[in-house]
Amino acid sequence: MLERKILKDLLEWKNNPDKKCLVVKGARQVGKTYIIDKFARENYENYVYLNFDENENYKTIFDGDLDVDTLIKQISLRVPNSSLIPGKTIIFLDEIQNCPRARTALKFFAIDKRFDVIASGSLLGINYKDVPSYPVGYTDQLEMHSLDFEEFCWANGVSKDSLNDIKEYFTKKKKVPTSMHEKMLELFKEYIVVGGMPRVISEFVNTHNFQNVLKIQKAIINDYTDDIAKYAIGNEKAKARNCFLSVPKHLSKDYKKFRYSLVEKNGSSRKYEGSLMWLYDAGIINFCYNLSKPELPFEGYAKNDTFKVYMNDTGLLMAMLEEGSQEDIIDGNLGIYKGAIYENIIADIFTKKGKKLYYFEYNSTLEIDFFIRFEKEPTAVEVKSSENTKSKSLKSVLNGWKIKKGIKLSMQNLSINENIENYPIYMAIFL
């Protein structure tokens, strides 16, 4: 069984006396159903599960009046052996994107308060227009991602105490013992290749067979393209698919800004920006916006029309590359894609920590991979895929802009050089 941090968030929600209905969002196959089902079974006397994808008849429960008394009667009729005791029951509405009226009903469950209700779905962001009355103000929200690096380490037998020891070296800015450092680098490379999808990690932990891992990853990618074909509307199907398949091509370029011309010759934002948003709302990609100035607040200086696109799971990005790419990463050699892969994994880590992504590019001569708020200051972050930590851009931005600190993430052990702090790349989880 894979341990997930989100269980703690679910327990905090349960114990909150002012809780509303909970909506758990996230891409397909990140483990939402499994973890909510586990939480419900372990923490409630009574549990009612409605999956609108597996059983379309459940939609009829919400065809009539949406007051809670009527809904409870309808659930009792259509769900055998259901026990709905106020204060002791949780109702899990799974794949709720397939039943827009059930999303409207969340408002009435939240006002009624007799039952705890969790709703979840993989494509909640893309069909909100179908909901007749969206329950604004009546739901709590949780975003669920694939497993992060710490969860990956737990799955591979690394204790929480060991990870706390690593964090101590980070906090005290001391070098990590060589054997520990090398082990963490090995795990980090494996995480790049395997990614965080639960099915993929379970296969890796059980077999350590990268070919088996790749087969599952490719199946998930096929599921994503099937979702595009099923849920995208009209000509968005082809456009969203083309945008999705173009992500590795964009990341292979030295200049990684997303260019519509790489999707299609003479492609434009007018034609494709809606398709990109479809992929974002489906939880498949993330945006990293260029800053006009590397200053806080970042949101105020973000250029909405200039951005990079990263995959939300680096293992899936690896599976989209040519055969042999997994072995190349483990061996430390991936040609034109190497820098892009390491940037993507840091984007993945920052996103899972709840950070929005920003970078800084100036006059095509200076580019900083990421800017984050760190220790209350705007901080430049450069990502290196090798032990070579030279960075002309980082020195330039520290000298030419009001930036007090720069961080390099690389294969090297920890070291501090004036206003540049060098951290092993796996320490990105502590930033």
Mean predicted confidence (pLDDT) in 169-182: 98
Mean predicted confidence (pLDDT) in 118-140: 71
**What pLDDT sits at residue 345?**
96
Q: Is the pLDDT of residue 92 over 60?
A: yes
Tell me: the pLDDT tens digits for 406-423?
Answer: 999 999 999 998 889 999
Contact (CB, 8 A) for 115 and 19: no
**What pLDDT sits at residue 254?**
66
Mean predicted confidence (pLDDT) in 247-271: 81
**What pLDDT sits at residue 251?**
76
Structural tokens at position 91:
């109702």
3-state DSSP assignment of residue 266: coil
Tokens 């200051």 -> residue: 377
**What pLDDT sits at residue 257?**
83
- Say which DSSP state 293 is in: S
- Backbone dihedral angles phi then psi of residue 146, each to the nearest 5 degrees: -65, 170
Distance in angstroms (rounded) separating the CA atoms of residues 382 and 53: 43
Tell me: the pLDDT tens digits for 360-378?
Answer: 998 878 899 999 999 999 9
Mean predicted confidence (pLDDT) in 235-248: 87
Mean predicted confidence (pLDDT) in 381-392: 78
Domains with residue ranges and CATH for the chain: 6-143 (3.40.50.300), 149-430 (no CATH)
pLDDT confidence tier of residue 388, bands split at 50, 70 and 90: low
Mean predicted confidence (pLDDT) in 209-223: 96
Contact (CB, 8 A) for 103 and 129: no
pLDDT confidence tier of residue 132, bands split at 50, 70 and 90: low
**What pLDDT sits at residue 339?**
79
pLDDT confidence tier of residue 133, bands split at 50, 70 and 90: low
Structural tokens at position 109:
């469950």
Tell me: the pLDDT tens digits for 183-214?
Answer: 999 999 999 999 999 999 999 999 999 999 99
Average pLDDT of the chain? 91
**What pLDDT sits at residue 134?**
60
pLDDT confidence tier of residue 389, bands split at 50, 70 and 90: low
**What pLDDT sits at residue 393?**
84
Beta-ladder partners of 21:
139
Predicted structure pTM score? 0.93
**What pLDDT sits at residue 84?**
96
Q: How far is C-alpha 65 from the geometric centre of its chain's CA atoms?
A: 36
**What pLDDT sits at residue 131?**
54
- Helix-then-strand count for the chain, H and E: 17, 14
Mean predicted confidence (pLDDT) in 151-176: 98
